[in-house]
Structure 1
């Protein structure tokens, strides 16, 4: 009998082991791909599934009550038909996986026991099922960060017990339905970052009397803030930022007695015009009204609330800051920058509250800075840029050891800077530019070990620059021009190995240039013009490989011009008005550099007007020269005839397209050629590229220089090819103007140099520096890719990042490229990278009309376009950062941004999928040496961070540069606040994002 029982167990092992709920869950496992084998302990030999990964059961009945499979990297459709048959299942979380189906209307509505459903951070598509509202006990619904489209169903207003509704970062359109105001149990309503049609904040939301969080950032809201919101007595967080709201902040807002966080920043015209036109005339009037920002004053009634955070920046608020705001006992964040506020700041601000961040930049404030800002000892940032503030810096700030960023620029401050402020140990930025400060830089600056940016320009500072400044190992930028600094440059300066910019022009400095300058490996700008510096120019200056701006004019320098300067690639070069002598190095002995050497009587070269001191030498050979002229004249006559015939024959072809007499030349650098020389060489033999905008020629000039010439197609050509392109012709004109406007005014070592432009009625030419190694795309996608080892690829990524960081952070106003791709990253002979092609670049207006603007069409290239840009058409630096992230992935993988091998995916999704399923080795380009694997992994992480689906999670370009410099060191966690809302990685930059670049 025992033997018979054993045989039965062997023959039918499953029939007496796993219960019915276990069978259903095992089918769930089978329906998913599990590349990390996270569900390996889901075993059919168990009696119940209660010990399986992510499964929770009732301890008495062993019935399954909860299923938590979040963050397990699962792939497949949402198994509603299986899960809804678990009748006691109340909790489902598949958060942050790769669930990629639609939610079937007839299936999801059968999960009648469900109380908690979290499907956020997946790949779900399609419309939101109306039947969800029929789930009688559902309290928590999170569908954020998916690809749901269509409208929010009005049926959602039928939820009976729902407390949290999260639909953030989807593709939902239509209007926000007022029916949501019927969910009386709702505590959190999170609808941010969806491309809704322009519409008002539904007044019905005032019925949500249990609401604690209302998060409607970037929802295309227009019109005024409705008074009905004042009924939300339990509301803790009100966030209506980045919309098109108008009118004043209603005083009735103070009836929300529980408010601790108010975010109404950046309300300007951000709406996207409806594709199918306006539904009625009133809607059109509503949208027109949103052309203004929030106006009026800051209601004094706000002071009655227990506020912790108040963000009202980038609007048009006027009036004074209420004095009572200083009495808010919990206020830690106050950001009011870029408004029209005036008067004095509350004198007790910070005295009674734990103030951490304060930014009141770009207003009209006057009076003095309150002396109690750091009374609680936790102040990290104080930014008051561009006001009319006066007086001295409060001495109390010198005791504020928590300070990290101090920006007092563009005001009327005076007096000496408190000695202790110079040496604050955590301070990374001290900006005192454009004031009337006096006194010396204190020696205590040696204690500012974290200082990276020191801006002292246009003040009345005097005395010697202390040697102690050479101990600031992290110093990147020292700008102290237009002061009265005297004495020699400190010898310790050469210890600043991270220094990128040193600008001390217009001072009274003397002595010689310090020896050991070759240690400035990262210096790109050196400006010591108009001082009293003497001695020779050291040869070692030619070893500063990234230097592109050198101005030593107006000094007492003597000796020869170092021949090593020919190793540099300078955009700005000036040594005029010194006491230099000898021959000019051959590279600079050209007319285009004449002004760079004027005022040096002892210099000589082949440039007219620079050899006055050697006229006697010329007279010695005068007779011989006259004889030579007659001998050569005959030969020149015959050569001239031959040259004229050759030129005439080649110019006939050019004249068919354009009349040379009508060319207009606009130059942006010193030129050693004329436009006629360019025209003669624009033949098909010199074409090196062709695209939608025109052809690119390689032109070798008579002086030996090489340039690249982009000839844009004329209007007629575009229009003739397709009548639908008449608008495109205008776009090309705009592209030309954008390119000229952008490249004509910016200078950076990693931005391609535009020499000049030539225009007529029908033809436009752009003349650039020639990049012998072509584009990054040319190398990566050819047999030459093996030449790009990892150090070179890392250098290319670093160069391109620094170029984009310059556009985003150092240009005022900032510039968004809008078409960052490997084809627009050009490589010089040393594989140095330069960002090129600014035909669709846009200046971001962050002034009185603050906020980013929407474009009439998508600019960019397939595979590089940020997800949110494709449907909002909103221009900001985050779209560039996404595109740059794709370039990083190209450098790491060696693959194209789009390719048939990816199926319906692009490179970003392919990398994420392959990384999860097959590991790092199958992502990295096999041509790269495995010894760099750890560095490559870190750079890959930066690329993935830049290509985050949510713009708010992408770092700023300045942060990207720092991360690349550290090779990915110090990885950050994705921060969230207590309500689960995402906060920016770059929040340390957000406070003065709209202040001063």
Structure 2
């Protein structure tokens, strides 16, 4: 018995040990479970399904979290990894709680929507080897990282952190192999961190766009394991250190958008593993000899520097090269003729250099080339025939060279071609009928060549064309009525050719035409009166032709910035409205035109001296007509008084004054003035949205004739309102309603809101406008919800230019100039295509002539705080230069994304003070640009900001006119952006490809 009992003790002990181990597992697992459940609770509002498996009830026995999605454990059932990248996780995370997982070695939360501060609790994760918090929306400063001594992988790319980065804490992270702190532009500026160059195990270093300044230290050569080094979009200066040649394992080196200078360093040729090199947008000089041995290059971007010398012949032997961008340098000599003939070559941009020789023939040999951009050089010879078969080509631009010969026939019809630019060369021949196959082409630039012949009818099958410029060639024949098929056409330039025949009426089917120039041809016949139906037309030049007949009155309905009908064979009277709107030189060279008011033109027949008998007859007729009109006026007065008496008993009556053709009645309008249609409120009344029976939307402003229609005292005074209004008019003061009607009743411009009619009664007045569905620019820029999304830079630029054209028309295009006096972003409305309209003319002033003080101004203080020009404070006078100032403030809003008044500007300070105080250096100016605007187009935004600064000059006389502002904005036309999102391995960086208006790529970032 005792012997058996003794023999059973070891087995019992063994079972007891197993029990103890299970208990320990259970305790550890239970602790980790609680941490994860707490994490799940804090992220409970996430739309992800990843937490569906985080349910302990699924495993009632062990209650282990090790089978949760994204969770890994060790053999002791302790959590070692939280791996939830790109899992749609959102919310605030408590790092102190997460770091209670004692065995945690990996924390990957990259690519989610986490927010809040990255707290000091992170320092307790002392066993972490892998930490990825990239692509989230954290805020605040990054805490000290010195406790995480085992870290090998640290990715903080685009986390949203700000303030001062704890670079010094990296000194203790000697095991780091991967470090990414890039794309955090809110970090405070700092020198290149010397702690980084001591991390000699790094193979990946990404410090782009994180506010580094100073020089790249020579100790960078210590990081000999680096395969990727990215320091772009910072404020680095000085030379590239020669020690960089020690980094022989580099596959990618990106230094673009800094202020680096000097030559490409000696020994750079040793980087034979380099595949992608981008040092564009710096100040580098010297030649390219140190690069000619880098035969593994796939992408070489050195545009916008000061490089000189020839392109090495060795580039033609690079068998992997697919992207080459060298534009904006001082390179000379020919391009290697074998260039791009080996790999799937994608694009070349060598524009704006001094290159010579012929175009390399085989860059599209493998059928993958998309862009050939070689403008503004000295290339000669003809276009190689091979490019006629390059169906992948989207842009072919060789303007401003010395190229000659005929264009290969099939080149006209490349199926993916968007932009064909052959201008300013010596090309000859005709446009080939194959152009009908170019279904995607939007711009055709052939100006200043020797092209000839008639336009083929197939040309009008290229239905995507928006711009055609055939000026100063030798084209001839008629302009085909088939042009009506180009329904997207915006600009047509045919000047300086031999076109003849009549101008076809069908041209007015191109409803989007903005510019027409048919000057210096042999067009004959009448000017089509249908041109007056082109509401978008801004410029019309028909000078130096053989046009006959009269000037159509319909042209008076157009509000053109340029009209030139000179040197034709026109006859008859010059319409009075055109005499008032345009320079008289625009009609010279037409000896049969007549005018009673323009010098140098003969008087019209009706203005010639009359015989006494005819004068007597006309006088009698005039007296008789006057008597008839007096009688009719009295009858109307009597009937109106009777109607007013009747209406005073039955209710108020409405008086309608229409300014355009109306397809609605006042009953449709007045019946819709009710609470459910209210869309806005102002100081003078409310704004309603009215949906007509035909489905058209209108906006109606309801203005009460007294300030408060509910005020009893006002009601007692209402019977005297007519007399009061009359007295105000006599004293020279126009109430808001009258001012708005006076300003808008005759205005017709694509960028000024349309006023259809006014509807008035004794109590109130209605102004009926077109309805703009996207609300105001203020709402799109500054509203809290931003339901319609943020405006990109191209949209902002188009809004700026359109609004400027609207103001230019008010100041310079109207018969009597209109000063708006309340230009602001909330008075710029946006239609369904985000095209702007200047609106709300309640404070507008129509310039009547020269005032007593000899200046065109008004003494009534008007405007909105933040937009008011400074001269109000000391002169109380306002003229058109006050509108220019206010518009400059709007431009600053568009560029910076900020409001005119913000607390950060300081007490009694505004955006003008804030902007001007920071325009001290290129870096500080770029820092003013809205952070949501991509880096690739911030230089374009700065151009507009400089226009804004000119507009807001303190002295009115130094401000440009709105006509000059429009010209400056047109000169600042922005890049056309193509943003390519590339998953950049573990750095998850976004690359961008930006294309300038002349087709130059600003950058083409390739990633491993």
SS at match of 1:45: helix
**Map of 2:57 onto structure 1:** 45
The counterpart of 2:887, out of the listed 814, 817, 837, is: 837
The counterpart of 1:373, out of the listed 347, 358, 363, is: 363
**Map of 1:603 onto structure 2:** 593
Deviation readout 1:69-128 (Å, 9 max, x if unpaired): 4445555444221221223322222224443333334x2222133222111222333433
**Map of 2:705 onto structure 1:** none
**Map of 1:258 onto structure 2:** 273
Deviation at 1:50, TM superposition (A): 4.2
The counterpart of 1:794, out of the listed 832, 845, 851, is: 832
Deviation at 1:883, TM superposition (A): 12
**Map of 1:563 onto structure 2:** 553
Distance 1:584 1:51, change over 3 A: farther
Runs of 5+ unmatched residues, structure 1: 1-14, 268-292, 630-680, 689-696, 709-742, 759-765, 781-787, 801-820, 825-832, 843-855, 885-955, 964-971
Distance 1:528 1:871, change over 3 A: closer
Deviation readout 1:162-182 (Å, 9 max, x if unpaired): 222111122232111122111
TM-score of the aligned structures, taking structure 1 as reference length: 0.64
Deviation readout 1:929-986 (Å, 9 max, x if unpaired): xxxxxxxxxxxxxxxxxxxxxxxxxxx96758xx9xxxxxxxx873344564311164
Would the aligned equivalents of 1:706 and 1:770 in 2 still touch at CA under 8 Å? no
Deviation at 1:266, TM superposition (A): 0.4
- Where in structure 2 are the equivalents of 1:148-163 lying within 5 Å? 148-163=162-177
The counterpart of 2:32, out of the listed 12, 18, 21, is: 21
The counterpart of 1:305, out of the listed 291, 295, 303, is: 295
Would the aligned equivalents of 1:110 and 1:135 in 2 still touch at CA under 8 Å? no
Deviation at 1:529, TM superposition (A): 0.7
Name the CA distance, whole Å, in 1 between partners of 2:927 and 2:323: 25
Distance 1:973 1:369, change over 3 A: closer
Distance 1:133 1:428, change over 3 A: farther
The counterpart of 1:208, out of the listed 202, 223, 227, is: 223
- Where in structure 2 are the equivalents of 1:479-494 lying within 5 Å? 479-494=469-484
Name the CA distance, whole Å, in 2 between partners of 1:370 and 1:860: 52
Give the CA RMSD over aligned residues: 4.6
Would the aligned equivalents of 1:195 and 1:872 in 2 still touch at CA under 8 Å? no
Moved more, 157-166 or 43-52: 43-52
**Map of 1:928 onto structure 2:** none
- Where in structure 2 are the equivalents of 1:150-549 lying within 5 Å? 150-170=164-184, 171-172=186-187, 173-196=189-212, 198-267=213-282, 293-549=283-539
Deviation at 1:527, TM superposition (A): 0.7
Deviation at 1:823, TM superposition (A): 8.2
Deviation at 1:465, TM superposition (A): 1.2
Distance 1:834 1:446, change over 3 A: farther
Deviation at 1:37, TM superposition (A): 6.2
Name the CA distance, whole Å, in 2 between partners of 1:883 and 1:769: 39
**Map of 1:34 onto structure 2:** 45
Deviation at 1:416, TM superposition (A): 1.4
SS at match of 2:482: helix
Would the aligned equivalents of 1:390 and 1:414 in 2 still touch at CA under 8 Å? yes
Would the aligned equivalents of 2:256 and 2:278 in 1 still touch at CA under 8 Å? yes
Deviation readout 1:860-884 (Å, 9 max, x if unpaired): 589999x999995334997498499
Deviation at 1:153, TM superposition (A): 1.7
Name the CA distance, whole Å, in 2 between partners of 1:259 and 1:223: 22
Moved more, 49-58 or 457-466: 49-58
Name the CA distance, whole Å, in 1 between partners of 2:514 and 2:285: 43
Name the CA distance, whole Å, in 2 between partners of 1:157 and 1:222: 24
Would the aligned equivalents of 1:463 and 1:487 in 2 still touch at CA under 8 Å? yes
Name the CA distance, whole Å, in 2 between partners of 1:870 and 1:37: 46
Distance 1:67 1:793, change over 3 A: farther
Deviation at 1:219, TM superposition (A): 1.6
- Where in structure 2 are the equivalents of 1:815-894 lying within 5 Å? 837-838=887-888, 872-875=923-926, 879=930, 882=933
Deviation readout 1:560-598 (Å, 9 max, x if unpaired): 322222332211111122222333334213274422222
Name the CA distance, whole Å, in 2 between partners of 1:428 and 1:295: 34
**Map of 1:975 onto structure 2:** 982
**Map of 1:277 onto structure 2:** none
SS at match of 2:37: helix
Structure 1 position 984 matched with structure 2 position 996? no
Would the aligned equivalents of 2:124 and 2:147 in 1 still touch at CA under 8 Å? no
Moved more, 594-603 or 94-103: 94-103
Distance 1:458 1:247, change over 3 A: same
SS at match of 2:355: strand
Name the CA distance, whole Å, in 2 between partners of 1:297 and 1:17: 65
Name the CA distance, whole Å, in 1 between partners of 2:29 and 2:819: 69
Name the CA distance, whole Å, in 1 between partners of 2:523 and 2:220: 69
- Where in structure 2 are the equivalents of 1:39-118 lying within 5 Å? 39=51, 41-47=53-59, 48=63, 50=65, 54-58=69-73, 61-71=76-86, 74-105=89-120, 107-118=121-132
Distance 1:36 1:880, change over 3 A: closer
Would the aligned equivalents of 2:170 and 2:195 in 1 still touch at CA under 8 Å? yes
Would the aligned equivalents of 2:425 and 2:448 in 1 still touch at CA under 8 Å? yes
SS at match of 1:314: coil
Would the aligned equivalents of 2:414 and 2:438 in 1 still touch at CA under 8 Å? yes
Would the aligned equivalents of 1:407 and 1:432 in 2 still touch at CA under 8 Å? yes
**Map of 1:576 onto structure 2:** 566
**Map of 1:845 onto structure 2:** none
Deviation at 1:185, TM superposition (A): 1.6
Would the aligned equivalents of 2:146 and 2:171 in 1 still touch at CA under 8 Å? no
Name the CA distance, whole Å, in 2 between partners of 1:152 and 1:869: 28
SS at match of 1:837: helix
Distance 1:302 1:346, change over 3 A: same
Count of aligned residue pairs for this structure pair: 719
Name the CA distance, whole Å, in 2 between partners of 1:454 and 1:859: 45
Would the aligned equivalents of 2:594 and 2:601 in 1 still touch at CA under 8 Å? yes
Name the CA distance, whole Å, in 1 between partners of 2:29 and 2:746: 83
Would the aligned equivalents of 1:489 and 1:510 in 2 still touch at CA under 8 Å? yes
Deviation at 1:834, TM superposition (A): 13
**Map of 1:909 onto structure 2:** none
Distance 1:869 1:54, change over 3 A: farther
Name the CA distance, whole Å, in 2 between partners of 1:399 and 1:116: 51
Name the CA distance, whole Å, in 2 between partners of 1:990 and 1:513: 31
SS at match of 1:325: helix
Distance 1:450 1:556, change over 3 A: same
SS at match of 1:295: strand
Would the aligned equivalents of 1:332 and 1:353 in 2 still touch at CA under 8 Å? yes
SS at match of 1:358: strand
Name the CA distance, whole Å, in 1 between partners of 2:827 and 2:312: 60
Would the aligned equivalents of 1:757 and 1:767 in 2 still touch at CA under 8 Å? no
Name the CA distance, whole Å, in 2 between partners of 1:225 and 1:204: 12
Deviation readout 1:435-454 (Å, 9 max, x if unpaired): 11111111111121211111
SS at match of 1:36: coil
